[in-house]
Amino acid sequence: MSLGGEEFIIILPICSLEDATSKAESVRREIADKSTVDGRVQPIYITASFGVTLNATGEYFSDLISRADKLLYQAKASGRNCVIAK
């Protein structure tokens, strides 16, 4: 599900924080390992940052998204191209 211009949500039902973090890291690594070449034969490196969290019982979806968004911005502030989970 697209959240914003360059932000997406991936929902993994019945998944531990460890498994979700591992899946995010796998996707991040796949993206980082792919380089595209533009018309000037100059490499373009693509990176991805992830904020990973779990929902608490009875928690509002908006609170979950807000927490994940804060983690995403922590990942970006940490130099990008990483996964932050909590």
| Domain region containing 32 | 15-85
In the chain, the number of structural domains is 1
Q: Which residues contact 74 (CB under 8 A, 6 or more apart)?
A: 51, 84
5 falls within a domain:
no
73 falls within a domain:
yes
The pLDDT of residue 2 is 54
2 falls within a domain:
no
74 falls within a domain:
yes
38 falls within a domain:
yes
Indicate which CATH number applies to the domain containing 20: 3.30.70.270
pLDDT at position 39 over 70: no
The pLDDT of residue 44 is 77
The pLDDT of residue 3 is 67
pTM: 0.83
10 falls within a domain:
no
The pLDDT of residue 6 is 79
Residue of 6, 18, 30, 59 marked catalytic:
6
42 falls within a domain:
yes
41 falls within a domain:
yes
Torsion of CA 83, 73, 48, 36, to 10 degrees: -150
State yes or no: is 6 an active-site residue: yes
